[in-house]
């Protein structure tokens, strides 16, 4: 039995990149034609010229707050803010809501969210029963996992959330091969089963998502005979990356183009540097082009020992939106990026906010070679852009932490 879901996972990386770049112009053209929001944001863009990552990086990033704002502005005429390429009817069996509230369409094709790949990597196979404890109402998580499991050939028990004792009872009687849901709820179920004196010997694997899955919990489950694997997905994009038995980061899905950019910008960072995940999906129903997730991650070098050849990321490493308020003024990563762009001498920068509440102080640490008057000029630029004063210090190249932080709030709150 193959340990890979399909041949796409083991393609030569050059072949994969060529296929993704070949699909990109058509997706951009499709978004321009069928999505009013992208017809506006990509106006004047020659879709046929978007054939490389360099060309893609010149397109604007659409961030979640912009998607929400456009939906709210157009509630009366277009609940999807002009981003969806399909409308109500057979092409859209379901609509979901994610926090915000952002409404998300679900298309009609099998495994719409592309979750089968992650579920398969977690060990689920055709003919097995999967106990799905993601929510089936409002948010798409339950449907995301169910449609993916169906694509593999699994039967699904729609457990949903809560009702822990009933979940234990259903598991004991139906004998599912594994669990799908949040890791914390699986722990609650296992503990409740022990409290009830009920054994669940058939539950030997799990695909978890929706929250952190620390090694301590992974090991706790393993001690009880459950091999848990995690995946990274969103309601906007579906599957982005998934864990394998190698447990070395998360392997990217085959249906997305992933960039990692400096927070507050759309500029790709060097490989290995932490930045914001920006995703272009090849989903024709909801063709998001350069969608900023707001999540931080970094590329891992090398390939997965399981034989999967796609790029790996380190997983979720925090949030990219580091906007903070200093002396009554909002300061955001985009402003720091604007300062950096004015000075080619700067390689990286980090704004540190210190002091106690009502006595804020800003210092900008920049990786740059010493040059007469440079610190003063940078300080003037900070004041021009943020309307606030900052002390500027030049630090050695490579000395700033590689954690994706552009703004560090180090204030003490008492």
* Average pLDDT score over residue span 109-122: 97
CA distances from 320 to 60, 136, 145, 281 (A): 17, 29, 27, 20
Indicate whether 321 pLDDT > 60.
yes
User: What pTM, to 2 d.p., does this model score?
Assistant: 0.85
pLDDT reported for residue 414: 46
Indicate whether 1 pLDDT > 90.
no
Q: Positive or negative, the Cα torsion across 373, 377, 378, 379?
A: positive
CA distance 132 to 246: 24
Interacting residues of 123 by C-beta distance below 8 A, sequence separation 6+? 178, 204, 205, 227, 229
Fold of 324-409: GMP Synthetase; Chain A, domain 3 (3.30.300)
Indicate whether 358 pLDDT > 60.
no
- Whether the Cβ atoms of residue 187 and residue 162 lie closer than 8 Å to each other: no
Q: In the predicted model, what is the mean pLDDT of the chain?
A: 92
User: Considering just the CA atoms, what is the radius of gyration of the chain in Å?
Assistant: 23
Least confident of 243-247, 331-335, 375-379: 331-335
Phi and psi angles of residue 343, each rounded to the nearest 5 degrees, phi first: -130, 100
171 closest CA partner among 184, 186, 154, 150 = 186
Q: Give me 1's structure tokens.
A: 């039995």
pLDDT reported for residue 325: 75
- Whether the Cβ atoms of residue 160 and residue 142 lie closer than 8 Å to each other: yes
Question: CATH 3.30.300.30 residue ranges in the chain?
Answer: 324-409
Given pLDDT bands bounded at 50, 70 and 90, which one contains residue 105? Answer: very high
228 closest CA partner among 119, 363, 321 = 119
Higher pLDDT, 407 or 332: 407
What interhelical angle do 183-196 and 215-223 show, nearest 10? 30
Summarised one tens digit per residue, pLDDT across range 263-294 is 888 899 998 999 999 999 999 999 999 999 98
Percentage of the chain beyond pLDDT 90 is 75
Indicate whether 356 pLDDT > 70.
no
pLDDT reported for residue 232: 95
Question: CATH 3.40.50.12780 residue ranges in the chain?
Answer: 13-319
Indicate whether 48 pLDDT > 70.
yes
User: What's the CATH number for 13-319?
Assistant: 3.40.50.12780
Summarised one tens digit per residue, pLDDT across range 129-159 is 999 999 999 999 999 999 999 999 999 999 9
Interacting residues of 75 by C-beta distance below 8 A, sequence separation 6+? none
Phi and psi angles of residue 181, each rounded to the nearest 5 degrees, phi first: 165, -160
Given pLDDT bands bounded at 50, 70 and 90, which one contains residue 360? Answer: confident
Task: State the SS3 of the chain.
Answer: CCCCCCHHHHCCHHHHHHHHHHHHHHHHHHHHHHCHHHHHHCCCCCHHHCCCHHHHCCCCCEEHHHHHHHHHHCCCCCCCCCCCCCCCECCECEEEEECCCEEEEECCCCCCCCCHHHHHHCCCCCCCEEEECCCCCCCCHHHHHHHHHHHHCCEEEECCCCCHHHHHHHHHHHCCCEEEECHHHHHHHHHHHHHHCCCCCCCCEEEECCCCCCHHHHHHHHHCCCEEEEEEEECCCEEEEECCCCCCCEEECCCEEEEEECCCCCCECCCCCCEEEEEEECCCCCCCCCEEEEEEECEECCCCCCCCCCCEECCCCCECCCCEEECCEEECHHHHHHHHHHCCCCCEEEEEEECECCCCEEEEEEECCCCCCHHHHHHHHHHHHHCCCEEEEEECCCCCCCCCCCEEECCECC
* Average pLDDT score over residue span 240-252: 97
């Amino acid at each position: 039995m193959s340990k890979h879901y399909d041949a796409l996972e083991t393609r030569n990386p050059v072949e994969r990149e060529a296929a993704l770049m070949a699909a990109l112009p058509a997706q951009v053209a499709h978004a321009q034609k069928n999505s009013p929001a992208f017809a506006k944001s990509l106006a004047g863009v020659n879709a046929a010229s978007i054939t490389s990552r360099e060309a893609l990086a010149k397109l604007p990033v659409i961030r979640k707050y912009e998607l929400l704002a456009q939906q709210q502005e157009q509630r009366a005429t277009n609940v999807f803010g002009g981003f969806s390429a399909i409308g109500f009817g057979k092409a859209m069996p379901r609509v979901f809501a994610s926090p915000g509230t952002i409404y998300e369409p679900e298309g009609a094709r099998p495994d719409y969210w592309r979750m089968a790949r992650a579920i398969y990597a977690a060990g689920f196979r055709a003919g097995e029963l999967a106990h799905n404890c993601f929510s089936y109402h409002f948010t798409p998580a339950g449907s995301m996992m169910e449609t993916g499991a169906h694509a593999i050939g699994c039967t699904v028990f729609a457990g949903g959330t809560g009702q822990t004792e009933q979940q234990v009872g259903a598991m004991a009687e139906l004998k599912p091969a594994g669990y799908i849901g949040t890791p914390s709820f699986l722990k609650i179920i296992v503990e409740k089963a022990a409290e009830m004196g009920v054994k669940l010997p058939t539950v030997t694997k799990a695909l978890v998502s929706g929250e952190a899955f620390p090694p301590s919990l992974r090991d706790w489950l393993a001690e009880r005979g459950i091999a848990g694997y995690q995946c990274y997905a969103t309601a906007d994009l579906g599957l982005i990356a998934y864990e394998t038995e190698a447990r070395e980061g998360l392997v990217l899905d085959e249906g997305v183009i992933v960039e990692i950019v400096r927070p507050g910008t759309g500029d790709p960072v060097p490989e290995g540097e932490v930045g914001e995940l920006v995703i272009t999906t090849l989903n024709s129903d909801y063709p998001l082009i350069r969608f900023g997730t707001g999540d931080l991650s970094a590329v891992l070098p090398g390939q997965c020992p399981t034989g999967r050849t796609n790029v790996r990321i380190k997983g979720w490493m925090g949030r990219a939106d580091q906007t903070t308020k200093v002396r009554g003024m909002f300061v955001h990563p985009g402003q720091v990026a604007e300062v950096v762009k004015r000075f080619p001498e700067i390689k990286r920068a980090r704004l540190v906010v210190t002091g106690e509440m009502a006595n804020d102080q800003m210092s900008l640490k920049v990786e740059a070679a010493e040059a007469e008057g440079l610190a003063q000029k940078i300080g003037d630029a900070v004041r021009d852009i943020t309307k606030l004063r900052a002390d500027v210090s030049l630090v050695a190249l490579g000395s700033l932490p590689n954690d994706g932080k552009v703004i560090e709030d180090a204030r003490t709150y008492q």
